[in-house]
Structure 1
Amino acid sequence: MKPKIFIDGEHGTTGLQIRTRMTGRADVELLSIPESERRNAALREELLNSADIAILCLPDDAAREAVAMVAGNNRLRVIDTSTAHRTDPDWTYGFAEMDRDQSAKIAAARLVANPGCYPTGAIGLLRPLRMAGILPEDYPVTVNAVSGYTGGGKQLIAQMEDPAHPDPLDTPHFLYGLPLKHKHVPEMQIHGLLSRAPLFSPSVGRFPQGMIVQVPLHLADLAANASLGSIHEALADHYAGQDIVEVVRLKDSAALARIDATELADTDRMKLYVFGTAGAPHVNLVALLDNLGKGASGAAVQNMDLMLKG
């Protein structure tokens, strides 16, 4: 019998992308709820409890509500794409490349918290350096990032694409999260193995999908003898043997004149770069990904596949 998959919130941006990625798959049975019935709590509860794996594509409070609906169902496995459970120790963090054994933990887990798009890039850069002893846990990390506007969901998409919207946006780029209390910060700190909360400055560009995450570093404040080469080596060693996260060779990075935030749009991959000049005092770590690919829907399908094989 085919495993049954229910996407709770399938009509939202992340849910639609998950459905697209699963089009034509004959190895699973997709349970579906009509858009007109998406607020039918009884039907949602029935479908949730009928599934083998439920993928929650919901706001935080609605995700918590869905988890409460299945509290007594120990057979059901859950992937939550919201922020609600990403720092909960009872949930397995769904970044398969984060550690050597993380994919095995996801495969065996009943509850998986899908990472956020910005944290995927930031943690992907920071955690290997923490584990290698290069980055001190109390380093004053700053994370600067730009995302495609689809990361803001249907509301922001409408504001960016519909001139007749009551509150249209025609700006080419905007900064937000100005009070410096973004909901992704705790996730970055905990899974980035940091003792201090990073200073996170997010922004949105006028492109649908894509993302650049930057973490600049002062070499003098890192471990002794930290260098452009040793930082690149630590990242390359951490991600050796897998093909979703690519650490770009230093000579290839040095040959680039610019980075295009949309390069990996419509893919589920991530590229990591180490920029700088040998002997200079700074390096800039850069992650490139699709905010709806490895940053959301692509990661959810990757985690589902690991759980199906586990």
Structure 2
Amino acid sequence: MSSPLIFIDGDQGTTGLQIHEQLRGRTDIALITLPDAQRKDPQRRAEAINSCDIAILCLPDAAAREAAESVVNPRVRVIDASSAHRTRADWVYGFPEMVRGQAQRVASASRVSNPGCYPTGAIGLLRPLLDAGLIPRDYPVSINAVSGYTGRGRAGVDEHEGPNASHRSLHRVYGLELSHKHTPEIERYSGLASRPLFVPSYGAYRQGIVLTIPVEARLLKPGVDGATLHNCLTTHYADEKYVRVMPMEAPGVGKQLNPEALNGTNVMALSVFANREHGQILLAAVLDNLGKGASGAAIQNLELMLAQ
């Protein structure tokens, strides 16, 4: 029996390079690659995507839509790492740990849309708590997140690693028009009844995300506190390999969060911090924007699809 053919469309970009690096030494699959001169040739790309078993799209949104539309072979399955198809009802959302049965839906899907890096953290925290009724669906959610500069793609890498790196920004808050493209994705898959307020930023480090969501206990049902939320998350992710819920009272956990702590992995760590005196709770997620937030998630979804 021949090995499954995998085509990475856009294997020269940040995410595509990482996926290719992690897959190229494997003997259970075969990678289709195009020579440099053919990577932008629509005909050659269409031929490659229609000759593979699973295509992984690591492209800008418009190019990802074109690539998906070029698939005419019904046996070709697609994983899209862009945001082009994330809120489409005919694509399966590729966050296997989100709800019970999601991993199986990914495994059997013909079209899978990888989650965004920020939404992975936000949805990972919110979805179990909203589904359990511990946070109301109409709660006025605000999300703050800082990512490494690779989250900006090539522009961020050039600014910090290129010839003009001496002029790099140390910290940049953006999305101030409050219309970041990840916000609809967060709203849809977290289960919120209205749009969250999302404020992202970039730091002067290569990769890694810390995302936080403040919660006021007075806006929750009586008796719901930080421990209640922590127990819910712990139960939801108890059997998951790639999502860890950190202990609330572990030594050092309450001191600081390091956005680079999980770099190079497909692991996301979730934490709950609480101040009972002030009635305030902080939900937090740490993950690698190039790992669980991009290439790692794509490979996790690929493994599920290959096992089907």
Residue 68 of structure 1 corresponds to which residue in structure 2?
A: 69
Distance of aligned partners of 1:100 and 1:208 in 2 relative to their CA distance in 1, 3 Å threshold: same
2:273 to 264, 272, 275: 275
Deviation (angstroms), 1:222: 1.7
Is the 8 Å Cα contact of residues 267 and 290 (structure 1) preserved in structure 2?
yes
TM-score by length of 1: 0.96
Specify whether residues 262 and 41 from structure 1 end up closer, same or farther in structure 2 by C-alpha distance, changes over 3 A only: same
CA contact (8 A) 2:77 2:111 kept: yes
Provide the residue aligned with 1:202 in structure 2: 200
Matching residue of 1:125: 125
> Match for 2:104: what amino acid?
A
Q: Which runs of 4+ in 1 moved over 3 A?
A: 253-256
Measured in 1, the distance between the counterparts of 2:287 and 2:85 equals: 23
**Residue type matched to 1:58 in 2?**
L
- Give the AA of the match of 2:199: S
Please name the residue that 2:13 is paired with.
12
Matches within 5 A, 1:186-197: 186-197=184-195
User: Which residue of structure 2 lines up, in the alignment, with residue 222 of structure 1?
Assistant: 220
Structure 2 unaligned residues grouped into runs of 5+: none
After TM superposition, the score normalised by the length of structure 2 is: 0.97
Identical counterparts, % of pairs:
48
- Distance of 1:132 and 1:35 partners within structure 2: 50
| 8 Å Cα contact 1:209-1:266 kept in structure 2 | no
DSSP-derived class of the 2:125 partner: helix
The answer to whether the 8 Å contact 1:9/1:15 transfers is yes
1:94-117 Cα offsets, whole Å, 9 max, x none, are 001001211000001000000000
Distance 2:252 2:134 in 1: 22
Matched, 1:150 2:150: yes
CA 230–254 in structure 1, closer or farther in 2 if over 3 Å, else same: farther
- 1:53 shift after superposition: 0.1
Query: Do 2:187 and 2:193's aligned partners in 1 also have CA atoms closer than 8 Å?
Result: yes
Query: Is 1:254–1:275's contact at 8 Å kept on the other side of the alignment?
Result: no
Residue 53 (str. 1) matches residue 60 (str. 2): no
Contact 1:253 1:273 in 2 (8 A): no
Residue 39 of structure 1 corresponds to: 40
What is the CA–CA distance in structure 2 between the aligned matches of 1:217 and 1:126, rounded to whole Å? 11
Contact in 1 for aligned 2:24/2:31 (Cα 8 Å): no
**CA-atom RMSD, angstroms?**
1.3
Partner-residue secondary structure (3-state), 1:231: helix
Q: Is the 8 A contact 1:212 1:289 kept in 2?
A: yes
**Mean Cα deviation higher: 29-38 or 144-153:** 29-38
Does residue 21 of the first structure (1) align with residue 19 of the second (2)? no
What secondary structure, in the 3-state scheme, does the structure 2 residue paired with 1:19 have?
helix
TM-superposed CA distance for 1:169, in Å, is 4.3
Contact 1:11 1:35 in 2 (8 A): no
**Corresponding residue to 2:250 among 231, 249, 252:** 252
Indicate if the aligned counterparts of 1:176 and 1:202 stay in contact, CA closer than 8 A: yes
- Picking from 288, 291, 294, the partner of 1:293 is 291
1:60-99 paired onto structure 2 within 5 Å: 60-70=61-71, 72-99=72-99
Verify: 1:135 aligned to 2:135, yes or no. Answer: yes
Displacement of 1:300 = 0.1
Q: Distance in 2 between matches of 1:169 and 1:132?
A: 47
Which residue identity does 2:89 align to in structure 1? P
Q: Quote the Cα distance in structure 2 between the aligned partners of 1:243 and 1:226.
A: 27
* Stretches of structure 1 lacking an aligned partner (at least 5 in a row): none
Distance in structure 2 (CA, Å) of the matches to 1:116 and 1:24: 26
Query: CA distance change for structure 1 residues 295 and 265 in 2, over 3 Å: closer, same or farther?
Result: same
Instruction: Report the number of matched residues.
Output: 307
Aligned partners of 1:253 and 1:275 also within 8 Å: no
Q: Distance in 1 between matches of 2:243 and 2:251?
A: 15
Q: Hey, what's the Cα distance between the residues in 2 that align with 1:68 and 1:234?
A: 40
Matches of 2:29 and 2:270, distance apart in 1: 33
After superposition, the C-alpha distances for 1:169-194 in whole angstroms (9 at most, x for unaligned) are 42211101110100000000000101
- Which whole-Å CA distance do the structure 2 matches of 1:96 and 1:146 have between them? 24
- Per-residue displacement from partner, 1:176-233 (whole Å, max 9, x unpaired)? 1110100000000000101110000000011111000111111111223210110000
